[in-house]
Chain A
Amino acid sequence: MSNPLKIIPAAPDSESGVSRRAALQTLFAGVGAGLALPGAAEAQHPIHQHLANPGAIEQAQQRAAAAAYTPEFLDAHQSKTLEVLAEAIVPGSTAARVAPFIDQLLAVESADNQRAFLGSLGAFDMAAITKHARPWVALTAAEQDELLREASTADAKSPFRSHFQNVKDWIAGAYYSSEPGMRELGWTGNTFFQELPGCTHPGGHED
């Protein structure tokens, strides 16, 4: 099993506590069997209990169940604009559900950060309207790409570049903390390593 905390679909009668416990037990059994532990002696390792964290599992289930996500903070237009921008700035963001996660974060952010994000998102609409008299989501892919190139290469102190950087940081942070993003960076779920590699060169890299 590649995913140590793979989500199983909620049972039709998942309102029932008994069914829920049964479902979790099934999941835990799968988790234990799939862990890359260093040896057979590890079969009784506390990791089995550790991963059987009902809170974490429950949260993951809730998120998975929220496929039809309703934004908490952004309005529908902002949410769509962010989704389109995210996919262009960090490809794969739509599948990784970057926009809904950023919305979830923004809902608990400080007013200053909320304001700054909305300002940066709005700057893309402003650029689109100024140049094409249409909002960002109505631009063609080529038109969006042209403006993104402009934003990403503008003077570092220019407002458009700053807004681009702000939105990009949010998107990149959300993407690379998602499961697809982490796996892209090498995450396997294995957290047990018997050795730590180090320098083996004789001479200690003296001049």
Chain B
Amino acid sequence: MQTTTFDVIVVGSGASGGWAAKRLSEAGIKVALLEAGKPHGDADFNEHVAAYNLTYRDRASEWIRRTRPRQRDCYACREWNYKWFANDLEEPYTTPDGKPFSWQGRLRVVGGRTNVWARQSYRFSDQDLHGKSFDGHGDDWPIAYKDVAPYYDIVEDYVGISGQAENVPELPDGHFHPAMPMSCAETQLRTRVKSKLGYTVTIGRSANITRPINGRRACHYCGPCEHGCITHSYFNAAFTTVADALRSGNTTLITNAMVYRVLTDRSTHKATGVMYIDRVTREVREVRARAVLLCAQALESTRILLNSAEGGLANSSGVLGHYLMDHTWVAGGASGEFPDAPAPKPSLGAPRRPNGLYTIRMKNTINGPREKNYVRGFGFQGGGSTSFRMDAPGYGQAFKKGVLDPLTSVNLVGFGEVLARFDNFVEIDPKVVDKFGIPVLRITMTWGENEKAMIPDMAVTATRMLEAAGARNIQPFTVLDRIPGYGIHEMGTARMGRDSKTSVLNGFLQTHDISNLYVLDASSFVSSGCQNPTLTIMALAVRGCDHLMEEMKRGNV
């Protein structure tokens, strides 16, 4: 067995792992960055390849499902990029009968999920971090907004978030690149909803830069960021944080490294390294270091901990694997048409905005009334478009003429907070292993009563907003039986807290039990907010790295 020694091991090269490698290696620390997937870069991107140059023009979903039946559920897994995703047959997971969970977005390339993420980047507020103090449910995070704010600044300045300040306490403002423009219909929605309902509809805060930074060029509005970006205009760890880490000369990137377990020294109660299996050669290898940082994605990091010791490593609390959260997504909302709003004719030759609208949480607000049926809240994503009418009636030339008749509409789709509950959890399935011989996760998750009460209000609220904006043909929708996982925002399962008896990590994402073992991804989240989690994941990862470096200086690690 080959063994190599570094200062710090970082497992995973996505949002948190990329930042960890960059932060540490630029400070002079020798980092081993382990990635379960393949090397990946500009040569793999194909965002400018027209559909008609693909074998199946992205229209053969069943063909992709032959190897990726679950990954294909993800809107971003397409013929252009499906090979970046894990093969579900080779890397399965299980669920109990009657409790399906869709674990999507499992990337197997450098940069991880940041290759295909939706790029929406929102800060959490104190109301999100201290929800229990606000409404009595769940637990507060052991940190406050003021603790994270400086790290949000660092991350935003580097990542580049286009957006607009709104001065709404439920969604703290940040450091923004110039906002992308709204269409007339969207502007009409924003203006009238604000004046009639008081809600704030803003342009999405998106990790697409609108001015050049760090050698990256401003967005050129081709549209499909999930296929890659040769101008590096969206944030992808592969060509930003990971590239910087490698440029420092202090990071060694080890690809195709499927980490099985964290290695420990029983006498010192310290982590000593990790054991991994080479995806290609199947050789079993070890890497040793002073500290281990798990950044493998919330469920993958917890899987590693559960596979590292009987009952799970760093699990004296017994809560490892528990309090799994997602967001309710595409569960409630509405769409409406704006036939009178000025709009250019639709064209496939026109620029495409890789971003939508965001409606800031408007229910159970800090100073507003409380809902009787549910706690917490939701935001709306979606946006406006002027599109072709592919459902035009008839046939022949009349149909083709009907296709060109523009349809301007706005969609509002709720993204709702999911409460942390002990009985939503992951565990190791003792009967199933992946193709590398590593035991897989068994995921148990259902929506609770709070989610079921909130979803219908998404449809009602979206309808009221569209009515206020003057939309026509408003179509509300509610889907109460949506499978958990479609939010693709897995959070929790190794939550942070002040009390080592009820949490796995402290406020710096250091495990209570093992001082040189950190978990820097969304598994640390205590509650989910209703905002997309990646910006917070990155800010907390940088904060955790700074803490680690202080601990190393003090000799504690």
A associates with B:
yes
With known contacts A105-B56, A182-B51, A195–B351 Cβ distance under 8 A: yes
Binding site for A on B (CB under 8 A): 42-43, 45-60, 62-63, 66, 180-184, 186-188, 190-192, 195, 220-222, 230-231, 341-342, 344, 346-351, 353, 388, 390, 393-397, 399-400, 403-404, 470
Which chain B residues border A186 with CB–CB below 8 Å?
Answer: 346-350
Which chain A residues border B62 with CB–CB below 8 Å?
Answer: 108-110, 113
Distance in Å: Cβ of A114 to nearest Cβ of chain B: 9
A187 contacts B394, CB within 8 Å?
A: no
A108 contacts B221, CB within 8 Å?
A: no
Which chain B residues border A50 with CB–CB below 8 Å?
Answer: 42-43, 45-46, 48, 230
Binding site for B on A (CB under 8 A): 4-5, 38, 45-47, 49-51, 53, 56, 59-60, 88-91, 101, 104-105, 108-110, 113, 148, 152, 168, 172-174, 176-179, 182, 184-199, 201, 203-207
B181 contacts A53, CB within 8 Å?
A: no
B351 contacts A196, CB within 8 Å?
A: yes
A59 contacts B183, CB within 8 Å?
A: no
- Cα A46 to Cα B232 in complex, Å, equals 11
Distance in Å: Cβ of A113 to nearest Cβ of chain B: 7
Closest residue on chain A to residue B203 by CB atoms: A198
Count contacts between A and B, CB distance < 8 Å: 156
B341 contacts A187, CB within 8 Å?
A: no
Of the candidates B60, B181, B192, B394, the one whose C-beta lies within 8 Å of that of A206 is B192
With known contacts A187-B349, A195-B351, A205-B341, A89–B182 Cβ distance under 8 A: no
Of the candidates B220, B347, B400, the one whose C-beta lies within 8 Å of that of A90 is B400
A89 contacts B396, CB within 8 Å?
A: yes
Which chain A residues border B183 with CB–CB below 8 Å?
Answer: 198-199
**Given A199-B181, A207-B192, 6 other A-B residues pairs in contact with their CB atoms under 8 A:** A148-B396, A174-B59, A178-B52, A187-B349, A193-B222, A198-B180
With known contacts A192-B222, A193-B220, A108–B180 Cβ distance under 8 A: no
- Cα A65 to Cα B390 in complex, Å, equals 30
- Cα A158 to Cα B73 in complex, Å, equals 31
Distance in Å: Cβ of B50 to nearest Cβ of chain A: 6
A49 contacts B195, CB within 8 Å?
A: no
Distance in Å: Cβ of B183 to nearest Cβ of chain A: 6
Of the candidates A88, A182, A199, the one whose C-beta lies within 8 Å of that of B184 is A199
B470 contacts A207, CB within 8 Å?
A: yes
What are 22 A-B interface contacts by the 8 Å CB criterion?
Answer: A49-B43, A56-B46, A59-B55, A91-B396, A108-B56, A110-B62, A152-B393, A152-B394, A176-B403, A177-B59, A186-B346, A186-B349, A191-B48, A193-B350, A194-B220, A197-B181, A198-B182, A199-B184, A201-B187, A204-B190, A205-B187, A205-B192
What 4 A-B pairs are tightest by C-beta distance, nearest first? Answer: A198-B181, A186-B347, A193-B351, A204-B191
Distance in Å: Cβ of B429 to nearest Cβ of chain A: 28
With known contacts A191-B220, A192-B220, A198-B183, A206–B191 Cβ distance under 8 A: yes
- Cα A193 to Cα B192 in complex, Å, equals 31
Distance in Å: Cβ of A87 to nearest Cβ of chain B: 9
Closest residue on chain A to residue B42 by CB atoms: A46
Of the candidates A90, A101, A187, the one whose C-beta lies within 8 Å of that of B50 is A187
